[in-house]
Structure 1
Amino acid sequence: MPTHLARAAHAYWAYVRRAPGTHIWLVILFATTVVIRHVSPETAEHILEQRSTNLHQLAESPVRVLVTSAMWIAGGGWYFYFVLYNIFHVPAERWLGTGRWLAVLLIAHVGATYLSEGVLYWAIEHGHAPHSAVYTLDYGVSYALAGVEAVLTYRITAPWRYLYLGGLLFFYGLALVEGRDFTSVGHFSAVLLGLACYPLVRARPGLWDPVEAGRRTWRRLRRRPAAAR
């Protein structure tokens, strides 16, 4: 292997080793994407039905479907998520460490799933959705991604963090207002759950501390009148 290729391979391997969880997940998603593209539509539907976090499956086998539902891509394609994972998951895992990163995505994925399916259950019980909706397909990695996107707010320096957070809330909030379905509820819930993970990540280096930021702002405001006299 030429020297420059060897160096490039070594650099990429070092990059992968700093975010092993993200890259293992990408490998699994690649494998499941290949599988789903090489089976018949009927078989694909059956596979996804058995791994869907719908109300029926959550009642029958919650742990199994909560895990397996995050191993399949619901739209967008593997290369699209490869880019998103490198933009959001890799920096988050490198910053938080694999354990804390995994905790954040599990909180977002599991919490948003139950919140969104709870909204769907309420809609069914009150006649706003048919009873057949208990079998609606609900799988994919987007809830976990939204939660990790949100927790990265605490890693970004001012004033960019406010623009980032505002853009995040606008993007998912607009989808919620326009869609008004359980999936958009799940995505917005995942963002809020990601933001709620602040106590979990507060010990990490480079963290933006909103409490300390508020104290500094208050001290500056208190000093201004004195400086004007």
Structure 2
Amino acid sequence: VNREVNMHSSVRYLGYLARFSLLVAICLGLYVRWEKTANSLILVIFILGLFVLGIASILYYYFSMEAASLSLSNLWFGFLLGLLCFLDNSSFKNDVKEEITKYLLLTSIVIRILCALVERISGYVRHKPTLLTSVEFLELVGFAIASTIMLVEKSLSIILLVVALAMLLIELRMKSFLAIPNLVNFAVLLFFSSLETPQNPIAFACFFIYLITDPFLDIYFSGLSVTERWKPFLHRGRI
């Protein structure tokens, strides 16, 4: 029993490490953008982001308000990662701190995938019928809000892209037979087509992979029946 508890704790800490790597990458990336552009708005948002995450930590550890804390932090993670995607970095792509940011993002992605895989292999995940988790929804909303720093046309395109990503997540959870082909098409259109992509494709890939990992792995690991998977739709239909 103790061994299982220790294993579970190790997996949980692995998830924390992924989030911590992502947080450091976001902080360093935003700092580089402020340093190179001298845009005071970036500094204000950066400090405000740290302040909000600090409040979320206080709510979690001192007031046991886990739901409020996680909601606040997920919304801001999505927003700050969105800023990292959309702020122009063309003039300092080869900067050392920018390179470190990229490697931290890649490290976070690898740890995130590893953590999700180990959780499922070890049976620590309890699958519930849902369309979108609160984490996914809030991070998508935060990312969409971050897109408003761009021109209206580009911002609307990103918001539509976020909606399409949300629909893809739902499709994967429903185990639609077109889910995998649509996922491949979505990824190809995003990263390998002539469509305009965000300024920082690695940050965008990080956002995409963070959201897609769980529903993608659950295509294999989720044992929910067809009726259970469609339960959210069935309940809405009754209402």
When normalised by structure 2's length, the TM-score is 0.29
User: Greater Rg, structure 1 or structure 2?
Assistant: 1
Which structure would you say has the larger RCO, counting Cα contacts within 8 Å and 6 or more residues apart?
2
Give TM-score scaled by structure 1 length.
0.30
